[in-house]
Amino acid sequence: MDKLDIEILSRLLNNCRSPDSQIGKELGVSGVAVKSRIQKMIKQKIIEKFELKIEPPVLGYSVLYFVVIGKELGDILNKIRLVGEPFFVVPCVGGITVCSIVVKGDPQHFMEIAKNVLRDVRVLSIFEAKNPEIRSDLTKTDISIIDILLKDPRMKIEEISKISGFSTKTIARSLDKLQNDEAIQFTLVYNPKGMGDYIPFAILVSVDGNVKQTLSALEKKFVKSFLQKPLVHLDKIVLFLYSDNIYKIDELSQSVHEINGIQSVDLFIPKEINFPQKWVSNTIEHARKSKKLHLMSQIHS
């Protein structure tokens, strides 16, 4: 991979429906060149699959995150499935696994159950993830379109229309809404081991102060190293970065401490990335059977 590949990958991570021509215009190359490089990354399995990532609170779930060490991935998954469905599973360098589950009901109750289930596992951190500013109001039409997009988030409008029976105008309107919804991300799963000299990594930042101000300062300082836009969960910010030098990673991690309002900083280098979608499929199946027009109304009723 070269710098242009990374820039293309970054844009697809933030919105995999971005047209090749638009990406090319932003990077100063042709859309044909962008398409060729995307196909190359798919062939080399750097891009493993395109993915539609939905924030669980939009579908009525809470999210619990775990950072554990010293256990096989299969063992960890078997344990957390006793508490809830996996949402995000990332084995990292150093025997660390970052994972999350979706739960329905009181998250504090499930957190206590999780602590009991994981009593023989070394848990470095466990917390509920929230972004209170995320709002969404999905109609049954949106849900039907999402169900199709789960199979291929880059599917053309005409093909979605053929499958769903909706007009292309209805689908275009829904897609515009979904792509501007902070709770829904058109993204991809990439292979961290296939990126050549480039090393992707994440920094989990705990904030003791104004989260928005801290995020703004982090974005200003590290934007040139961003692989994708940061995630915010209450007092925590996750930065997704990359470097072409292993030593720079430590320097970047250390320099995060220089930002005002930072309480703690944890560094993670992923070995693989997984977004299990079973919980989404089950929720959509339930929503489609409902007679209610808006999903949010049935969540809160």
pLDDT of amino acid 101: 94
- Alpha-carbon distance 194 to 83, whole Å? 33
pLDDT in tens, 30-74: 999 999 999 999 999 999 999 999 988 888 888 999 999 987 888
- Alpha-carbon distance 77 to 251, whole Å? 33
pLDDT in tens, 105-116: 899 999 999 999
Are the beta carbons of 199 and 246 closer than 8 angstroms? yes
Whether pLDDT at 292 is above 60: no
pLDDT of amino acid 189: 96
pLDDT in tens, 208-256: 989 999 999 999 999 999 999 998 888 889 999 999 998 899 998 999 9
Cβ neighbours around 195 below 10 Å, total: 20
Domains of the chain in start order, with CATH, are: 3-44 (1.10.10.10), 53-191+272-301 (3.30.70.2860), 192-268 (3.30.70.1150)
The DSSP bridge pattern shows strands 47-54 and 184-190 to be: antiparallel
- Alpha-carbon distance 267 to 39, whole Å? 31
